[in-house]
Structure 1
Amino acid sequence: MALTFWLRIIEKKHLFAGEDYFLSILGLDALPGLLLAFSHRPKETFPLILNFGATELALPVARVWRRFAAQRDLARQWILQWPEHTASALIPLVFTKPSDNSEAALLALRLLYEQGHGELLQTVANRWQRTDVWSALEQLLKQGPMDIYPARIPKAPDFWHPAMWSRPRLITNNQPVTGDALEIIGEMLRFTQGGRFYSGLEQLKTFCQPQTLAAFAWDLFTAWQQAGAPAKDNWAFLALSLFGDESTARDLTTQILAWPQEGKSARAVSGLNILTLMNNDMALIQLHHISQRAKSRPLRDNAAEFLQVVAENRGLSQEELADRLVPTLGLDDPQALSFDFGPRQFTVRFDENLNPVIFDQQNVRQKSVPRLRADDDQLKAPEALARLKGLKKDATQVSKNLLPRLEAALRTTRRWSLADFHTLFVNHPFTRLVTQRLIWGVYPANEPRRLLNAFRVAAEGEFCNAQDEPIDLPADALIGIAHPLEMTAEMRSEFAQLFADYEIIPPLRQLTRRTVLLTPDESASNSLNRWEGKSATVGQLMGMRYKGWESGYEDAFVYDLGEYRLVLKFSPGFNHYNVDSKALMSFRSLRVYSDNKSVTFAELDVFDLSEALSAPDVIFH
């Protein structure tokens, strides 16, 4: 019975944290289920598999060793702890068709070889009773990066016409590479095996201007697409991950967002992988943008999974990674907001929503990006216009991601260390523009919900309280966006007057935030009926997803509070795949649940509860 239950819950990918309990009862019989658990949740399951020497685990562990930096130490530990199991399972894979699996197998075996297990590898290889197995394997294990390329070089595809594309240019003299060099570049690109590039291409990057390599790679990718995107020539797509720059990341994101609507979902996922592999933060910013803004739910989920891998490899949460991906947009340069067209000069300022606003030299606000005129400087104006358009596009996209994250940080009472607050908010050239429009709270390190003081960040970088007096912050303090319920009425009034005096417009509702407090009778209950007899449209209900509520049920939305969850029910319900946004839904109930006990609203944090209830309070009001 226990074995059947174990296999069933693992097969259905339940979020179950009892693997260690089942292992203690089932022993080796639990191994098939453990393999499934490891494939679903390697991070949580890894400590358990260290005690299992099984050939079935060798390839999954080798994949982790190859790809996931956050778990590399555990993967290394398993490989070195079970070298014979590793060798027995992986040696055959090395001689299969080049793929992610064969590459992972070779890297794991190379680790064993470098750590002094050569004799064991030879013993295992000789079990195949062929004298050439060990000699071939040893040759692979000893190969240097420049020696790893296929025996048979694929011929150039029909779409390969590099003379018609943007040419890479040399760093030393700005000269384009020769036609013969282009053919060699093409050969090296076609060496790509299992998604891994020939190391000679990394050397190429040291000789050529990065932006010219990026333009060349984009033209190659475009030609591949126009030829029908043949799978056997996928290297032309992968080249974007090697040579792509920030502009490539933006252009590729536009295509990725469109592909699901064109029936090219698989290509969109490949595009996400390419963004992940690009060596620039703009690619990760675009990945985060897709995870938040894509119309396709599967595409959003896939982007979130790729981001999770990146975050884990850096030892961060997704939120912490997103904090670190806000670009400076060049604003650390004092001249970044000045644009010289020759006879005309323009400057950019940012409003409360971080939208760039353009002004001319007479301080007249422009309705749109200025167009080039005949009397503009022929050299300065085009460069300034391109820079202005780029800033406007990037700032708009970054603000669309940043402001909702700050809203979520207020809603979920997120905290930062003082050091991170300085780095990510106070001293960041772009983020500080919004930092100075918010009220921040100071909290003890051991009591992150107890407000000690509140302050704003002045334009000079000083921290000022509600009386506009400079204050010092404890070195071990936590910082968060202050919730109005945390502040006294006097403090809220003083900050409101201060913001009015300085003409500061907040980027989100903070002092004027809608708050919901329960009556004593409601607090003592597990059900709310205050909206009985009220109705809301499906469109209004769907809008609650941006306030932390999750849909997915025909007649209910759920708000997750960790140990607790709120369930809002309505009738008659609606089909999420065929939504009539104007259809009316009647409120039925709102209850609080906990998995292990009966609870009342009184047990919930007052700030959490207010944030959760503010959305239904608006639509059913």
Structure 2
Amino acid sequence: MPFLVPDAVGKARPPRRKATAALAWVAAEHGADAVVKAARVFGDEPAEIVEEALSAGTPIPGVHGKPGEESPKAPAAYRRYAALKKDVRTIAADQIRRLEAAMVAGRRWTPEEFRASFADHPLIRHIARRLVWLADDRSFRIAEDRTLADSADTQFTLPASARIGIAHPLHLGEDAAAWSELFADYEITQPFPQLGRPVHALTGDERAASRLAAFAGARVPTGMVLGLIRYGWERGIPQDGGVEHDISLQVTPDRAIMIYLDPGIAAGAVDVFPEQTIREVLIYKTLGVKGDAAFGELDPVIASEVLAQLTALTGG
């Protein structure tokens, strides 16, 4: 294999020091794209090896040469590693956001798609194995050796016809406690709040209503209202005086939630009105037609997420 240093050829799992040296050599000779291929051959975890190789001030054998001696290839190798490290971090951050959005939206994949995109992916699997997944209504995780296991830590077989998604805590029921205990035992840190995610439910009155009366009248900082944008909320169109009097969230193709604000957000000068009073929180099917939709029409996961955001906004 041309991308391996001589003393690593033929060894399935060389010591980590040699793996790091080999990856540094790969970066210098063949570029960043070859690093993942090399790491897969080594049988180690690419993200961890790359992170180790990039530790600040740590000499990389095989690139820096012997102690007190630096290879001419060292500067180029470090530049390539720096670029690779940046790419890995950017990819990871983007994928974490996408996976969280997929959990909330209830996105599903076939077993083949799940394996290719998550369980067997050389980088994404490091994120995916820190989550609880669903195969239809059965929960499982990706173990360290890429096998699948249930909440009792016994082997799980993925049904060929299963639709696979990331479990929201509402989907887990009584299994949530078992999963939390297992992840704590294995010291698995989740990439975003999943097992410890706040869960909310609409009251009977709220399910039948087109407005959430519990949040009306709350006074909140304008900056916190604008913070809803990271969850997909959109600022309203400026009206007279360039003031935006609402912020909205499209929760389904034909349902939107609107928060009406007073005095509103001054476009281009958001600090003019540092505090907002929530006048109303309404759900619409047709914008401007009050009462043509009810919150109970929402999927329970979507309803829980919206309630969590509004609760955090108002300090509830």
Determine if the TM-score, normalized by the shorter chain, exceeds 0.5.
Answer: yes
Give me the whole-angstrom Cα distance separating, in 2, the residues matched to 1:396 and 1:550: 27
In the TM superposition, residue 395 of structure 1 has moved relative to its aligned partner by 1.0
In the TM superposition, residue 437 of structure 1 has moved relative to its aligned partner by 0.5
- The answer to whether the aligner puts 1:430 opposite 2:123 as a matched pair is yes
Give me the whole-angstrom Cα distance separating, in 1, the residues matched to 2:47 and 2:260: 48
| Higher RCO (CA < 8 A, seq sep 6+) | 2
Per the alignment, do residues 493 and 582 of structure 1 end up closer, same or farther by CA in structure 2, a change over 3 Å counting? farther
User: Which structure shows the higher strand fraction?
Assistant: 2
Q: Deviations over 1:448-486 (max 9, x none)?
A: xxxx10110011111111111111122121111100011
Aligned to 2:314: 620
Give me the whole-angstrom Cα distance separating, in 2, the residues matched to 1:580 and 1:457: 47
Query: Is the 2:248–2:258 Cα contact (8 Å) retained in structure 1?
Result: yes
Percent identical residues: 30
Query: Is the 2:265–2:273 Cα contact (8 Å) retained in structure 1?
Result: no
Q: Deviations over 1:159-215 (max 9, x none)?
A: xxxxxxxxxxxxxxxxxxxxxxxxxxxxxxxxxxxxxxxxxxxxxxxxxxxxxxxxx
Amino acid at match of 1:487: L
- The answer to whether the aligner puts 1:559 opposite 2:249 as a matched pair is yes
Aligned to 1:403: 96
Aligned to 2:154: 469
Secondary structure class of the residue paired with 2:102:
helix
Secondary structure class of the residue paired with 1:578:
coil
Per the alignment, do residues 348 and 469 of structure 1 end up closer, same or farther by CA in structure 2, a change over 3 Å counting? closer
- The answer to whether the aligner puts 1:417 opposite 2:101 as a matched pair is no
Query: Is the 1:331–1:429 Cα contact (8 Å) retained in structure 2?
Result: yes
Give me the whole-angstrom Cα distance separating, in 1, the residues matched to 2:148 and 2:229: 34
- Aligned mate of 2:281, from 562, 585, 590: 590
Amino acid at match of 2:311: D
Aligned to 1:480: 165
- The answer to whether the aligner puts 1:331 opposite 2:40 as a matched pair is no
Q: Deviations over 1:306-354 (max 9, x none)?
A: xxxxxxxxxxxxxxxxxxxxx97832322899xxxxxxxxx9628xxxx
- Aligned mate of 1:442, from 135, 138, 154: 135
Give me the whole-angstrom Cα distance separating, in 2, the residues matched to 1:331 and 1:571: 53
Secondary structure class of the residue paired with 1:485:
helix
Secondary structure class of the residue paired with 1:492:
helix
Give me the whole-angstrom Cα distance separating, in 1, the residues matched to 2:33 and 2:161: 27
Q: Which runs of 4+ in 1 moved over 6 A?
A: 371-374
TM-score after normalising by structure 2: 0.76
Amino acid at match of 2:140: F
Q: Deviations over 1:488-510 (max 9, x none)?
A: 1x301111111111111000000
Give me the whole-angstrom Cα distance separating, in 2, the residues matched to 1:348 and 1:430: 7
- The answer to whether the aligner puts 1:349 opposite 2:24 as a matched pair is no
Give me the whole-angstrom Cα distance separating, in 1, the residues matched to 2:68 and 2:79: 17
Secondary structure class of the residue paired with 2:39:
coil
Query: Is the 1:531–1:620 Cα contact (8 Å) retained in structure 2?
Result: yes
- Unaligned regions of 5+ residues in structure 2, if any? 1-30, 238-243
Q: CA RMSD in A?
A: 2.9
Aligned to 2:241: none
Query: Is the 1:442–1:453 Cα contact (8 Å) retained in structure 2?
Result: yes
Query: Is the 1:567–1:591 Cα contact (8 Å) retained in structure 2?
Result: yes
Query: Is the 2:40–2:122 Cα contact (8 Å) retained in structure 1?
Result: no
User: How do 1:136-535 residues align onto structure 2 when only pairs under 5 Å count?
Assistant: 330-334=35-39, 349=48, 357-358=51-52, 366=55, 368=56, 370=58, 375-379=68-72, 381-443=74-136, 452-488=137-173, 490-535=174-219
Query: Is the 1:539–1:582 Cα contact (8 Å) retained in structure 2?
Result: no
Secondary structure class of the residue paired with 2:99:
helix
Give me the whole-angstrom Cα distance separating, in 1, the residues matched to 2:90 and 2:233: 24
Aligned to 1:578: 269
In the TM superposition, residue 371 of structure 1 has moved relative to its aligned partner by 7.6
Aligned to 1:547: 231
Amino acid at match of 2:153: D
Query: Is the 2:260–2:280 Cα contact (8 Å) retained in structure 1?
Result: yes
Give me the whole-angstrom Cα distance separating, in 2, the residues matched to 1:403 and 1:437: 11
Query: Is the 2:255–2:284 Cα contact (8 Å) retained in structure 1?
Result: yes
Aligned to 1:117: none
Amino acid at match of 1:605: D
Q: Deviations over 1:507-561 (max 9, x none)?
A: 0000111222111122121111212332222221121111122223412111112
Per the alignment, do residues 500 and 486 of structure 1 end up closer, same or farther by CA in structure 2, a change over 3 Å counting? same
In the TM superposition, residue 391 of structure 1 has moved relative to its aligned partner by 1.9
- The answer to whether the aligner puts 1:538 opposite 2:222 as a matched pair is yes
Give me the whole-angstrom Cα distance separating, in 2, the residues matched to 1:565 and 1:461: 40
Amino acid at match of 2:155: P
Give me the whole-angstrom Cα distance separating, in 2, the residues matched to 1:392 and 1:571: 45
Amino acid at match of 2:206: E
- Unaligned regions of 5+ residues in structure 1, if any? 1-246, 248-326, 338-346, 351-355, 361-365, 444-451
Per the alignment, do residues 395 and 388 of structure 1 end up closer, same or farther by CA in structure 2, a change over 3 Å counting? same
Aligned to 2:18: none
Query: Is the 1:555–1:573 Cα contact (8 Å) retained in structure 2?
Result: yes
TM-score after normalising by structure 1: 0.40
Give me the whole-angstrom Cα distance separating, in 2, the residues matched to 1:565 and 1:348: 40
Give me the whole-angstrom Cα distance separating, in 2, the residues matched to 1:473 and 1:460: 16
User: Which structure shows the higher helix fraction?
Assistant: 1
In the TM superposition, residue 586 of structure 1 has moved relative to its aligned partner by 1.1
Secondary structure class of the residue paired with 2:265:
coil
Per the alignment, do residues 468 and 615 of structure 1 end up closer, same or farther by CA in structure 2, a change over 3 Å counting? same
Give me the whole-angstrom Cα distance separating, in 2, the residues matched to 1:422 and 1:332: 18
Give me the whole-angstrom Cα distance separating, in 1, the residues matched to 2:273 and 2:68: 53
In the TM superposition, residue 380 of structure 1 has moved relative to its aligned partner by 5.2
